[in-house]
Amino acid sequence: VTKEVIVLYLTLCKQCYQKNPVPKRGLAPKPMPSKDTDSRCQVEVLDMQSNADGEFKFILYYQDHLTKFIILRPLKAKRAHEVVIVLLDIFTILGTPRVLDSGSGVEFTNQVVHELSKVWPDLKVACGKQRPGQGPGSLEQVSHDVKNMVRAWMQSNRSCCWAEGLRFIQMARNQMFDVSLQRSPYEAMFGFKAKLGLYSSHLPRETVAILQTEEELEIAEEQLESSLWRGQEERTEVAADRSDVDEDLDPTAPEAAEPSTSQ
């Protein structure tokens, strides 16, 4: 079991997540600069027929080359048209690359690019150079990594419905710190850390758990703000009291002159 799978398991584990404190907010990192030379994506179709989830027998793997941001979607079949439908959703949200890399074969890659041009005539994408059979980024390595992540999710959630878990696996993977990026793929893509709604706020977790409406949220935020102000005022008063005590006990303070007695 690789270190990446262990980290992902801990990320997906509900009990482990509840024990983790909400990270403090900091300065938002800037998104990765855009370069035309790096405007490429990798698209792979991973075979899950031996562990099919109902009608879903394949996984579409998409990765942005520059940010390493990935997208995972279930597929019913390894057909260019199905792949293109998913790619259209991705491209119309994240933007389009110049080059499409794939280890799924030259013929299949050409079919995908051709199908894209039919559905979207104004889009022109080039087929990337074929990658070697092994090593980072290869179809074999991608398939191995994704299937390990899927198994980790299924074990953590005690579920065989991996198609439902792909988006959560994707989210967890995109939040993992990447050494080469010095940030997570999510931060590299969007310029800030991923948020989990109110659980990413400063409100206590137990307070967030019972909130239902915006009115309740506003009240909770006002109460938190009042509590913070009271705490600050109390700390200021304590500091002032300590300062007064220190002055009273200061041995260097001039003593009052004793009254003289006449003889």
The answer to whether 12 and 156 are in contact (CB under 8 A) is yes
How high is the pLDDT of residue 204? 86
Whether residue 48 is found in the same domain as residue 147: yes
How high is the pLDDT of residue 6? 55
How high is the pLDDT of residue 25? 44
Over residues 97-147, the pLDDT tens digits come to 999 999 888 888 999 999 999 999 999 999 987 766 545 578 888 999 999
User: What is residue 20's DSSP assignment?
Assistant: S
Domain end among 135, 160, 194: 194
Query: Residue 229's pLDDT band (boundaries 50, 70, 90)?
Result: confident
Mean pLDDT, residues 27-47 taken together: 70
Distance CA 218, CA 207 (A): 12
Whether residue 203 is found in the same domain as residue 188: no
Whether residue 39 is found in the same domain as residue 128: yes
The answer to whether 183 and 29 are in contact (CB under 8 A) is yes
The answer to whether 216 and 223 are in contact (CB under 8 A) is no
In a domain, 257, yes or no: no
User: Which CA distances in Å does 52 have to 87, 149, 163, 169?
Assistant: 22, 16, 9, 17
183 forms bridges with which residues in the sheet? Answer: 178
Mean pLDDT, all residues of the chain: 81
In a domain, 256, yes or no: no
Torsion of CA 77, 80, 85, 89, to 10 degrees: 110
Instruction: Tell me: pLDDT of 200 over 90.
Output: no
What's the domain count of the chain? Answer: 2
Q: Which residue has the higher pLDDT, 12 or 194?
A: 194
Tell me the HSE value of 127 on the side-chain side, using a 13 A CA sphere: 17
User: What is the SS3 assignment for 263?
Assistant: coil
Residue 164: is it exposed, middle or buried by C-beta count within 10 angstroms (0-12/13-18/19+)? middle
Q: Which residue has the higher pLDDT, 10 or 94?
A: 94
* Residues of the domain holding 210: 196-239
How high is the pLDDT of residue 191? 93
